Structure 1
Amino acid sequence: MDEMWSFVESKQHQRWLWHAIDHQTGKVLAYVLATHEDSALKQLQQLLAPFSIQRFYTDSWGAYLRLLDEQHHTVGKANTQRIERKHLTLRTRIKRLARKTICFSKTEKMHDTVIGLFINRHEFGRAG
């Protein structure tokens, strides 16, 4: 699991893509577009519940440490390289996710729609 920063209209209005991938295959299992708060991780956990995941690999951000069971949680960049690579791919393919760009979303709805459509199309093989 990891989260990726972006913004809507201005950098003060942050939006985060929270997503989880299968550690073995690199396939996206679920994602949430939300704020950088514990509630977003809770939403992602609910989406992941049907997968009965036994081990979570994350960085050391506080929400992971607070909400994930220590016995099933491994912290460290060594295990998050694949998901970090997905971040780079997303930033390359979706201009509005680039850190320094003049292309940005003006509304949360449009921002979430563009990113959601891209993920649905390229990760799940469906549009919408």
Structure 2
Amino acid sequence: MRVIVGNKQREAWVIYAINRYTKRIINFAVGRRTKRNISKVTKSVLQLNPKKVFTDGLMIYKSLIPKNKHNTRKKNTTIIERNNLTLRTDLKRLSRKTICYSKNFEMLESVVKLYFWGDQFNYKI
């Protein structure tokens, strides 16, 4: 999910993986959409030994996920797209056109971490 940080020239991506059945977040990264950031998330997914991994059509995934487990069909990404909509609704700093925004990457990462895993620490947002 693409997010603006500070001004429109600085963009960040919230990259995360979600379990299709439990709807729980497996892992996430905030930053540029680079191979290093995406590999953090894909490695944690592959450690769970899934049958299939569904992604968008970004070319970086081909080098990170084995071909027999990788699937890029659009209908299989509806769960994460719905979760993106919920994130943008709940966290106004992720909305596309708003006066709320994050001024730096660290604050954005902290807010997303609290949103994803705050219930494990009994935080209420």
**CA offsets, 1:61-100, max 9 Å, x none?**
1111332111111111100000000000000000000000
* Paired AA for residue 121 in structure 2: R
TM-score between the two structures when normalised by the length of structure 2: 0.88
Deviates more, 1:76-85 or 1:106-115: 106-115
Structure-2 change in CA distance of 1:90 and 1:75 (3 Å): same
Assess if the C-alpha contact under 8 Å between 1:59 and 1:75 holds in 2.
yes
Quote the Cα distance in structure 2 between the aligned partners of 1:107 and 1:80: 29
Assess if the C-alpha contact under 8 Å between 1:117 and 1:127 holds in 2.
no
Quote the Cα distance in structure 2 between the aligned partners of 1:26 and 1:118: 14
Deviates more, 1:80-89 or 1:46-55: 46-55
> How many aligned positions are there?
123
Q: Alignment partner of 1:31: what SS?
A: strand
Structure-2 change in CA distance of 1:56 and 1:49 (3 Å): closer
* Paired AA for residue 126 in structure 1: F
Aligned identity (percent) is 30
Tell me the equivalent position of 2:21: 24
Quote the Cα distance in structure 2 between the aligned partners of 1:127 and 1:42: 29
Tell me the equivalent position of 2:9: 12
CA apart distance, 1:49: 4.3
Quote the Cα distance in structure 1 between the aligned partners of 2:8 and 2:36: 21
Assess if the C-alpha contact under 8 Å between 1:57 and 1:73 holds in 2.
yes
Tell me the equivalent position of 2:96: 99
Q: Alignment partner of 2:121: what SS?
A: coil
Flag the structure with higher strand content. 1
Q: Alignment partner of 1:106: what SS?
A: coil
Quote the Cα distance in structure 1 between the aligned partners of 2:23 and 2:63: 25
Quote the Cα distance in structure 1 between the aligned partners of 2:108 and 2:63: 28
Quote the Cα distance in structure 1 between the aligned partners of 2:122 and 2:70: 33
CA RMSD in angstroms, aligned pairs only: 1.7
Q: Which runs of 5+ in 2 are unaligned?
A: none
Q: Which runs of 5+ in 1 are unaligned?
A: none
